[in-house]
Structure 1
């Protein structure tokens, strides 16, 4: 069962973070992943400069959730959900179709060439 952290524990990594290791070329071996590794990878993920600020802000929240999952492991699915919601929000703004769902928005985005369908969308005709 998940328990609420005590105040003195909030800056301690979630114990599940110790399950993850990365290969460190400088060591020639694996080491435990550190929060700086997570932060560095998140810094590499950026939206196009032409993306509206409201969408950028929405997406940055997803990145913060991933970063803070270092302290609360259960933030990972919340971060994933929020990133998908950011995509849906962006597509609603770009298309002007506020009532369309994500599946329809993605299909439209693929058709328009805004995103590539690399098996991103479910297709019952594919084997």
Structure 2
């Protein structure tokens, strides 16, 4: 079964080069995939191959953290909301390991970035609280 799946994947990747793939039946009635047509073969329509990037798509949480506020609020509610979003993104980020992070150092680098966002948001909350106390 694994060999069949690997063969299909190999043929699909070969299909990206515009090659036709045929599904054939051998003498024992098993399915065999080939690029060469023969008897007991039918052409497969595999469609257009998909292209994927290694970089993960941004999540709503990270987009909310990266977007700057339009104008600072009189209180620190915006800073607190940004801190909460950054903390949530960090918690979710620790539970996910992307395919391009097979090297553990890449995972740690992404987590350090999320931790830096949390720290920056915490500093904004502290600065807003200090500014409120000064007035």
Q: Same fold (TM over 0.5)?
A: no
Larger Rg, first or second structure (1 or 2)? 2
Give the TM-score taking structure 2 as reference length.
Answer: 0.26
